[in-house]
Amino acid sequence: MFQLCNNPNCNLELNHKGKHSFICKKAWTKLFNSDDNKKIDKAGCCTPRGGDKGGYQNHVNRNSKVIIPYEKLNEVNLSNYKDGYVIRIFPTQYFASKYKIANEFVNNTDIKVGDNAFILYRTYDDFDNLPPFPNWKIRSVMKYNPATKKYDIPTKNRRGNIIDDGHYLLRISNSGTNKKKNRFEGPAQGIFAPEYADANTNFLCQSVLAWLIINTDDSPYNPDDFVHLKAILDKHNLLTSPHYEKDYIMHNGKTTCPLCQKIIKHSALNESISFEDEEGLTNSTEQVGSTRSTTVNLFHMVPLCYASLENIPTHVSWGHATCNTRLGQRRCYSFTDLQATEIEIDITEGDKKHLLGYANATKNFIRSQNGDVWIRISKGD
């Protein structure tokens, strides 16, 4: 029988050589084909959000430094971000007028531009009317230099022993009316904070997603071959957790889309979405960029937000790209969730009344027993 190392923070096999490690991706990578390995790697990275204009990094691991927009600061719990954070402030927030700092930043010891915050310039108007102080520098990433014992080597990547330097970032697009050039200066500052997961959480999410790939319909894998992965999932209460069935992440042992509840075929994981389906995705965040979406993507049961970390093992699954888009920024309720509210939606036809289904408390999500689902797409007054 396969046994894990006895160290509670280690997911390697018993009597392994070398250091203990929580992260052990070989539990699936050894047996997965390259497409499936890429799919899991991608799920561990932040998805493109047209982020360059905001100074966001894309396609980097979720356990990276995050950007907290100044206006979101009171929503977040900063201690969630174990890999660091930096606060983004717009010039119109920071300056009351030219070279005059707004009251809330005067003598503010929590927010220091050039230290844990930067100013993001996005228009020439702001750059001209509310310019950076003359002694301010554009942001840069500096690498540690063992020879000088200082951070004095400019670099473009954030790996290794680095610090951020400087006060502001330029992401100014030519507005069309002026003849000025676009000015994109200073490196990306971090990832979109709602996408954050620390390295161990990210690993457990990937372990769950690998297990769900193994259990897709027509999967080329035999679950019994993944003894190491099963042991890891079991250790973290993720192998037989009731949430899979309750949330329709799996049904009768097969991976399902939590919104439409249809079984997910292994081939759908890596096939490009059809052009007809793609049309429905034009407004989706997944679709920013030039690459086409796959039919099935990473699906979050609870929308990612600033208030809490939601890229966690019990909230990730695979779902249709089209279902993801339809769900939007809503929580995906299961039938059991809705039935528990006891909010019944009835339809009356003539003198006959029958039960359509159950709704959530805000009544924007309805399911019927047979798997039909309704989502409110607009709201009246």
By the criterion CB under 5 A, which residues form the site for Zn ion? 5, 7, 10, 12, 20, 257, 259-260, 320, 323
Q: Quick one: DSSP state of residue 4?
A: B
Three-state DSSP state, 175: coil
Outline where DSSP puts E strands in 129-232.
140-145, 150-155, 162-165, 168-172, 183-185, 191-192
Beta bridge partners of 369: none
For the four alpha carbons of 231, 235, 241 and 244, in that order, the dihedral sign comes to negative
Structural contact between residues 361 and 376, judged by C-beta atoms closer than 8 angstroms: no
CB of 21 to Zn ion, least distance (A): 7
Spatial separation of the C-alpha atoms in residues 231 and 240, rounded to whole Å: 11
The nearer residue to Zn ion, 20 or 26, going by C-beta atoms, is 20
CA 111, 115, 121: angle at the middle one, nearest 5?
Answer: 80
Q: How far is CA 196 from the centre of its chain?
A: 6
Closest to 126 (Cα-Cα) out of 84, 155, 169: 169
The nearer residue to Zn ion, 20 or 292, going by C-beta atoms, is 20
CB of 6 to Zn ion, least distance (A): 7
CB of 260 to Zn ion, least distance (A): 3
- Cα–Cα distances (Å) from 119 to 93, 104, 184, 186, in that order, read 9, 15, 14, 11
Structural contact between residues 211 and 250, judged by C-beta atoms closer than 8 angstroms: no
The nearer residue to Zn ion, 7 or 341, going by C-beta atoms, is 7
CB of 257 to Zn ion, least distance (A): 3
CB of 23 to Zn ion, least distance (A): 12
CB of 24 to Zn ion, least distance (A): 9
The nearer residue to Zn ion, 100 or 246, going by C-beta atoms, is 246
Three-state DSSP state, 261: coil
CB of 63 to Zn ion, least distance (A): 20
The nearer residue to Zn ion, 135 or 283, going by C-beta atoms, is 283
The nearer residue to Zn ion, 13 or 165, going by C-beta atoms, is 13
CB of 305 to Zn ion, least distance (A): 22
Closest to 119 (Cα-Cα) out of 178, 72, 186: 186
The nearer residue to Zn ion, 10 or 214, going by C-beta atoms, is 10
The nearer residue to Zn ion, 183 or 235, going by C-beta atoms, is 235
Structural contact between residues 298 and 285, judged by C-beta atoms closer than 8 angstroms: no
CB of 326 to Zn ion, least distance (A): 8
Structural contact between residues 140 and 165, judged by C-beta atoms closer than 8 angstroms: yes
- Cα–Cα distances (Å) from 329 to 44, 300, 326, 352, 377, in that order, read 20, 10, 9, 36, 11
The nearer residue to Zn ion, 64 or 322, going by C-beta atoms, is 322
The nearer residue to Zn ion, 7 or 362, going by C-beta atoms, is 7
CB of 306 to Zn ion, least distance (A): 27
Closest to 367 (Cα-Cα) out of 340, 351, 352: 340
